[in-house]
Every structure is written in C-alpha cells, then in structure tokens.
Amino acid sequence: MFDVLEVARQLKNAVLAEPERFDATEADAWVTGLPGPGEVQVRTGREPLWRNLGYWRDVERVDESNCERAGELFAAAQARLAHLLATTAGLREADAVLDCGFGYADQDILWAEDYRPARIVGLNATPHQVRVGRERMRLLGLEPVVSLELGSATRVPFGADAFDVVFALESAIHFRTREDFLREAARVLRPGGRLVVADLCQRTDRETGVGLRRRLRHRYWRGRYAFPEANVWTTQRYAAELGRAGFEAIRLTSIASDVFPAVNTALAALRGTRAAASPPESRSLAQVRSDVRHARGMEFEELHWLTRFNCDEYVIVSAVRS
C-alpha cells in the first residue's frame, strides 16, 4: 500500500540533510548484522562498529563462496582504510591528532593502540555516537589518550596551531560545508601539519547535462544521506579548495577501484544474510548467493554511489599546511 506519510517523512529528511539526524536515527553500522543506532550495544569496547566503505586492496573480497564471512571481511577492509590514513599521514608518537566525524570511534581505537600518538581529540556532531565512543574508551582504558567531544568540524572549538594531524575518515562529505572544514583544518594545524581525508567526489563534472529526473533522484538520495549539494566536487575543485584554504603538497590518490566494487558486493551479502537470519526468514542462503553474484557482476556505472549520489571517485586526500 502506498504510504503517503512515509513518503512525506522521507522527502522532509531529504530536504533537511542533517548529519545529526541521519547518524542518530537512520545510519547502520556497516558490520555484521548491520545494527541501527538503536541496536548498538557496547559490552567490551571492541565490538566492530565501523562506518566506512573499506579499502579492499589485499583483503579477501566477498563472493558467492564466502558470503557468510562478509562481516569479518568487511571489518578487515574498514580497518585497512584507517591504517591507510595513518600511514599516509606518517602518524608518529609525538603527534596531536584531531579526528573530525569519528563515527563510533573504531579508527581512534586503532590509531591509539597501533600508532600511539600523544593524544587524539575526536569531534562529532551526533550525541549518540559521542556517548558510545566515550564508553568504548572507558572500557578499553584509552581515556588518557583519546578525548571524544560533541562539536562541529566546521566550527572547531580549539585555537590556532593546536594539532599536528587532522583526519576525516569518510566524514567530510557530510560537513556543512566541506569548504568550511578545510579552512578550520588549516587554522588548527601547526605549520607543516598534515591533513588526510578519505572522501567521495567526481573525477570530472558529472552534473552538467544530467536530465531533470536524474538530478532530482541524486538530490533526493544526497539529502537522505546528509550529503549537502555544496559538497558535490570534482577532484579539480577539491585540489583548488585545498590551495585556497592554505595547503600545499596537495595529493588526491584514487582508490575507487579498491572500494566501490568490493563494498557493493559486501553490502549485498550483509543485507542478505541478515534477512536470512531474521524471522520470518525472507531470504534463503541460495538466494543470498544469487544476490551476491548479481552484485559482483554489476558494471561500474550501476554501483550504488554512482546511481544515487553521482560520485564515481573515492580519494585519499593529503596536504600540508603552509
């Protein structure tokens, strides 16, 4: 039955594009079971609650033969993306780190334990995620190193020259706006400080010449996922904005081929296995394997991030404050 109220609610959410609302009420953790915000439970602090697409180079990819292990493989790729940001930044023990948009703080746990920077400060606009992250730090004994704060990456509550490294792991796309975030990152970084961002954008302008129906679809889905229209950038625009914000040694390294296809298949497996395990079981394992096979065979232009958001690029952005 056509639910007018539900359609109206979704259209309202799409127009609002509020990251706080999106992460507090709709965003699943992209891990085994795909728990929604209300289902997130913290018992040990080590429960994987990653919110990134993962870096799948040298990680076993999900297919029909291993789809039951999709959660395990996805978490490995997600952790690998956090490692990639750390190594790109040359993260050191003396560094003071600002992590903007930390989700449930999985990467902060990894960085604190594996790279041992002097301190990590996380900023997040969603109170629910801040509460969960703080409880994880308490359970793991990381509170002396990791401080998680409620706040905005576009109005950073710290003075100039306060940090050696600023990270944004797949979060800058949601900031209102990314341009404001870059200015704030440059302000709080010390001279020579490093900015490293994992982000989605466009290789070239994909907006010009797009028909009205597709434009409306892209705007709807961007709104649903708290992706402001002001953040629809090409890589050329991205590099130019970094320069204007006061950065040099600017590099945008594409990892799209090691992100989009593999995560498209992994998400099909996770959603299918959840449906198969949840009563009443709406999918059999054979149907899940068929779904995974279909997802794995999709052409690049058919993938979720292109059809919904018109983004065909995933980059690791690195730059140094002048």
- Residue 32 inside a domain? The answer is yes
pLDDT for position 213? 93
- Residue 195 inside a domain? The answer is yes
pLDDT for position 29? 78
- Residue 299 inside a domain? The answer is yes
Domain that residue 201 falls in: 4-278+289-321
Residue type, 65: S
pLDDT for position 1? 45
192: left (phi over 0), alpha (psi -120 to 50) or beta: left
CB-CB contact of 154 with 180 (8 Å): yes
- Cβ-based neighbours of 43, under 8 Å, separated by 6 or more: none
Q: What is the CA radius of gyration of the chain?
A: 19
**How many structural domains is the chain composed of?**
1
CB-CB contact of 152 with 158 (8 Å): no
pLDDT for position 207? 94
- Residue 89 inside a domain? The answer is yes
Low-confidence ranges of the chain (pLDDT < 70): 1-27, 280-281
- Residue 283 inside a domain? The answer is no
pLDDT for position 2? 46
Centre a 10 Å sphere on the Cβ of residue 147 and count the other Cβ atoms it contains. 15
CATH code of the domain containing 23: 3.40.50.150
pTM: 0.92
- Residue 284 inside a domain? The answer is no
